[in-house]
C-alpha cells in the first residue's frame, strides 16, 4: 500500500475524495469513533466507551481522545449514532462538549442519548431524531439509515453517498430472521445498494472467529422459557439492560411460568422507559422492585438483574456478595447468565459466579442451555453480506488485530478485490479509482479517573499502575541549612512486604548513611540530597523484597 507522507491535504478532505479514519475502535473492541471527510468537512460516526480491564487500577472506562476533531471543530458537520450500545454512545456523557455538533439518531437511540447527555450536564438541543430507514443530508454527505439486526433495538448501518461514490458503514449487525423486537434485515435494500455500486464497506469484525451463523433471538426466547419452566426454586436472569428483545423474552417466560417480574438495577428501568416511548415492550404486566416482594415466595418471582459482566456495583454482584438489601439467593435458587463476556471482563464474571456457587446457587450459562445469542454476525452471515453488497474495498473495524486480519481474509475469500487493515489514526483516502493511506494523525485514549478525565498515559495513571505493582515508600528528611540531620528520617511503607522492625531500622540507617556520605557542597543542594536518598531507599527495598517500589522524598530545611 502506498504511503504518502506530508500529503498536503490530509487535514482538509478534497472534493473528489473521501477520507476515512478511526480515532477508536480499530485494533480493540470498544471506544468506537469513526470519521469521514469530504469537501473540507467531517462527519463523525459514534462515540463510545471501552472497558479498561484490570491493568489500570481504579479505571473502569476509556474513550477516544478527540483532539483531531477539536482542532477542526468548525468543520464538523455532525455525528451519526448507529445504535445505543455503550461502546457507541457512552463517551457522549463525558466528551460531547469537545465536538458540540448536531447528532443524528433514530428514536430509541436518541432517547438513550438524551439520558447520556443529561448525565454529563449537556443539552440535547442539537439532537435530531430520525426514523429507521430514513434518508437525510448532512452537508455534502447524503446518508441513509439501513436497519440491521443486533442485540439492541434499531441498529442502523449507514449508507454514505458522496459525489465520489458510496460507502457502507455496517455498525454492529447480524442477520436474525426472528429478532423478537424490530424488523428483519431488509435484504432487498442491501441487494439494491450492491447493484448501485459500492466503493467500500467499513465492517464489524467482532464475530469473525465464529464459524457458522449466530443464533436467532427467537430461538433464545424459546430456550429461556424452557429453562425457566424446568426450575422450581428461585430464579434470576442477568443480561445486558439494553437488550430489549432479551428482556421481552425473559418477561414473556416469567408470565407463562406465573412468576412476578422483579427488576434489579436502575439501568433496566431507564432502558425499559426508552423502549416503551418508542413502541417496544407494550402491554406488559406490572414490574416490581425488590422491596415490593420481600414477603413473596421466591418460586413465584423472576428477577431480572443487571451485572452480567460482573460489574461490582451492579445488582447481581451485590446479590452474590450477600449485601443486597432485599434479594437473597442461596440453595434451590438459580441464576441464568443470558450474556457472554466482553473480552477483559472474564475475571470479574468468574468472581461473581464463584460467589454465587459458594452460596449454593445453581448457575446456568450459555454453555448449559440456549439462553444467549450473539449480537454479531458470524462468518456465514458476513459472507452473505459481502455477496449482497459487493464492495470494491473492505475495511475491517470493531475488532482486535486478529479479528481484523480474519475479516480481511474472509473478504478476500468471497472475491473482494482489496482489503485494508488500518490502525487508529491512519487516514485512508478513497477516490473513484483507488484507495491508500495518506497520513497518520494523533490518536490517544482518555480515561475517566473518578470524576476527572485524563489521558491513559497521564502521570497519575502511570504512577498508580507502578504503585500497584511495587508499592510506595515515603521518606521524610529534616536538615538544617548546612545539611546536618535534625531528626531521624521518617519512613512510611505502603504495599511493601517488609514488616520486620529490624529491616525498617536498617532502612533508616541506610537513608542516614546516604546523607552523611555527601560532601558539604552536595549537602546544600536539595535535589542531590533527595536523589541520593531515593536511590539508597529503592536499592534497599529491591534487595529485601525483589520489587522496584515508588519512592517519594519530602525534604524540609530548618534554620537553626
Ligand atoms: Zn459495538
Ligand atoms: Zn452493539
**What is the CB neighbour count within 10 angstroms for residue 480?**
13
Asked whether residue 2 carries a pLDDT value surpassing 50, the answer given is no
pLDDT digits (tens, 9 = 90+) for 313-340: 899 999 999 999 999 999 999 999 999 9
Kindly state the percentage of the chain with pLDDT values over 70.
Answer: 98
Asked whether residue 270 carries a pLDDT value surpassing 60, the answer given is yes
- d(C-alpha 316, C-alpha 442), whole Å: 40
Instruction: Please check whether residue 536 is in contact with residue 505, taking contact to mean a CB–CB distance below 8 angstroms.
Output: no
Asked whether residue 387 carries a pLDDT value surpassing 60, the answer given is yes
Q: Cell numbers at residue 395, please?
A: 475495511
Asked whether residue 441 carries a pLDDT value surpassing 60, the answer given is yes
354 alpha carbon to ligand 1 midpoint, in Å? 28
pLDDT digits (tens, 9 = 90+) for 420-437: 999 999 999 999 999 999
468 alpha carbon to ligand 1 midpoint, in Å? 31
- d(C-alpha 470, C-alpha 166), whole Å: 53
pLDDT at 499: 59
Nearest ligand atom owner, CA of 375: 2
Half-sphere exposure at residue 132, Cβ-oriented, CA atoms within 13 angstroms: 17
42 alpha carbon to ligand 2 midpoint, in Å? 23
pLDDT digits (tens, 9 = 90+) for 495-531: 888 757 788 889 999 999 999 898 888 888 899 999 9
- d(C-alpha 336, C-alpha 536), whole Å: 55
Q: Tell me the pLDDT of the chain averaged across its residues.
A: 93
pLDDT digits (tens, 9 = 90+) for 359-373: 999 999 999 999 999
pLDDT digits (tens, 9 = 90+) for 122-143: 999 999 999 999 999 999 999 9
157 alpha carbon to ligand 2 midpoint, in Å? 11
Give which of 221, 132, 215 is closest to 176, Cα–Cα.
Answer: 215
Instruction: Please check whether residue 162 is in contact with residue 144, taking contact to mean a CB–CB distance below 8 angstroms.
Output: no
Task: Report CA-CA distances (Å) from 285 to 180, 248, 254, 282, 288.
Answer: 18, 11, 10, 9, 10
- d(C-alpha 557, C-alpha 560), whole Å: 9
Ion ligand 2, residue ranges at CB < 5 A:
85, 172
Which helix (H) or strand (E) covers residue 504, if one does? helix 501-516
pLDDT digits (tens, 9 = 90+) for 165-199: 999 999 999 999 999 999 999 999 999 999 999 99
Kindly state the percentage of the chain with pLDDT values over 90.
Answer: 81
Nearest ligand atom owner, CA of 155: 2
| DSSP three-state, residue 445 | strand
Strands 76-80 and 41-45: parallel
Rounded to two decimals, the pTM is: 0.91
Give which of 410, 242, 462 is closest to 342, Cα–Cα.
Answer: 242
**What is the CB neighbour count within 10 angstroms for residue 416?**
19
Residue with cell 542531590: 528
What domains can be seen in the chain, in order of their start residue?
Answer: 27-212+374-455 (3.60.15.10), 217-364 (3.40.50.10710), 471-558 (3.10.20.580)
Asked whether residue 110 carries a pLDDT value surpassing 50, the answer given is yes
pLDDT at 505: 87
> Phi, psi at residue 494, to the nearest 5°?
-120, 125
Query: Could you tell me which residues are beta bridge partners of residue 78?
Result: 43
Instruction: Please check whether residue 245 is in contact with residue 179, taking contact to mean a CB–CB distance below 8 angstroms.
Output: yes
Q: Cell numbers at residue 310, please?
A: 460482573
36 alpha carbon to ligand 2 midpoint, in Å? 20
Instruction: Please check whether residue 35 is in contact with residue 67, taking contact to mean a CB–CB distance below 8 angstroms.
Output: no
52 alpha carbon to ligand 2 midpoint, in Å? 17
Nearest ligand atom owner, CA of 399: 1
Amino acid at each position: 500500500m502506498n504511503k504518502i507522507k506530508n500529503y498536503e491535504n490530509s487535514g482538509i478532505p478534497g472534493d473528489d475524495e473521501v477520507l476515512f479514519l478511526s480515532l477508536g475502535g480499530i485494533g480493540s473492541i470498544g471506544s468506537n469513533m469513526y470519521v469521514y471527510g469530504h469537501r473540507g468537512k467531517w462527519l463523525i460516526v459514534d462515540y463510545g466507551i471501552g472497558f479498561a480491564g484490570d491493568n489500570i487500577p481504579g479505571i473502569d472506562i476509556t474513550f477516544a481522545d478527540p483532539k483531531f476533531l477539536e482542532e477542526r471543530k468548525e468543520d464538523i458537520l455532525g455525528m451519526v449514532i448507529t445504535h445505543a450500545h455503550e461502546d457507541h454512545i457512552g463517551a457522549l456523557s463525558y466528551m460531547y462538549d469537545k465536538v458540540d455538533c448536531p447528532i443524528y439518531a433514530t428514536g430509541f437511540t436518541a432517547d438513550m442519548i438524551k439520558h447520556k447527555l443529561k448525565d454529563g450536564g449537556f443539552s440535547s438541543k442539537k439532537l435530531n431524531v430520525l426514523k429507521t430507514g430514513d434518508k437525510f443530508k448532512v452537508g455534502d454527505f447524503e446518508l441513509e439509515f439501513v436497519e440491521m439486526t443486533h442485540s439492541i433495538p434499531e441498529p442502523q448501518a449507514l449508507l454514505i453517498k458522496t459525489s465520489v461514490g458510496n460507502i457502507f458503514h455496517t455498525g454492529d449487525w447480524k442477520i436474525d430472521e426472528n429478532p423478537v423486537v424490530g424488523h428483519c434485515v431488509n435484504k432487498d435494500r442491501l441487494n439494491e445498494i450492491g447493484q448501485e455500486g459500492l466503493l467500500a464497506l467499513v465492517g464489524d469484525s467482532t464475530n469473525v472467529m465464529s464459524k457458522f451463523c449466530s443464533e436467532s433471538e427467537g430461538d433464545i426466547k424459546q430456550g429461556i422459557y424452557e429453562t425457566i419452566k424446568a426450575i422450581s426454586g428461585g430464579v434470576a436472569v442477568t443480561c445486558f439492560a439494553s437488550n430489549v428483545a432479551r428482556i421481552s423474552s425473559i418477561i414473556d417466560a416469567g408470565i407463562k411460568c406465573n412468576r412476578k417480574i422483579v427488576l434489579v438495577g436502575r439501568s433496566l428501568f431507564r432502558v425499559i422507559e426508552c423502549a416503551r416511548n418508542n413502541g417496544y415492550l407494550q402491554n406488559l404486566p406490572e414490574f416490581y422492585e425488590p422491596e415490593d416482594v420481600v414477603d413473596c415466595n421466591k418460586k413465584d418471582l423472576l428477577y431480572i438483574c443487571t451485572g452480567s459482566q460482573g460489574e461490582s456495583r451492579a445488582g447481581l454482584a451485590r446479590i452474590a456478595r450477600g449485601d443486597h438489601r432485599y434479594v437473597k439467593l442461596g440453595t434451590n435458587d438459580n441464576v441464568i447468565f443470558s450474556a457472554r463476556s466482553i473480552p477483559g471482563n472474564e475475571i470479574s464474571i468468574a468472581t461473581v459466579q464463584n460467589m454465587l456457587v459458594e452460596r449454593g446457587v445453581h448457575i446456568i450459562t450459555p454453555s448449559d442451555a440456549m439462553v444467549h445469542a450473539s449480537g454479531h454476525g458470524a462468518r456465514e452471515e458476513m459472507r452473505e453480506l459481502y455477496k449482497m453488497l459487493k464492495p470494491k474495498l473492505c475495511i475491517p473495524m470493531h475488532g482486535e488485530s486478529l479479528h481484523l486480519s480474519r475479516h480481511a481474509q474472509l473478504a478476500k475469500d468471497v472475491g473482494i478485490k482489496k482489503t485494508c487493515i488500518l490502525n487508529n489514526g491512519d487516514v485512508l483516502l478513497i477516490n473513484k479509482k483507488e484507495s491508500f493511506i495518506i497520513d497518520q494523525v494523533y490518536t490517544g485514549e482518555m480515561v475517566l479517573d473518578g470524576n476527572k478525565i485524563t489521558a491513559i498515559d497521564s502521570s497519575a495513571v502511570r504512577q498508580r499502575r507502578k504503585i500497584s505493582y511495587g508499592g510506595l515508600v515515603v521518606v521524610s528528611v529534616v536538615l538544617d541549612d548546612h545539611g546536618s540531620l535534625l531528626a531521624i528520617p521518617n519512613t512510611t511503607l505502603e504495599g511493601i512486604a517488609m514488616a520486620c522492625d529490624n529491616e525498617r531500622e536498617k532502612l533508616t540507617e541506610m537513608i542516614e548513611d546516604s546523607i552523611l556520605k555527601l560532601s558539604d557542597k552536595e549537602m546544600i543542594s536539595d535535589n542531590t540530597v533527595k536523589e541520593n536518598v531515593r536511590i539508597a531507599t529503592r536499592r534497599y527495598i529491591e534487595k529485601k523484597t525483589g520489587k522496584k517500589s515508588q519512592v517519594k522524598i519530602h525534604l524540609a530545611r530548618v534554620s537553626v
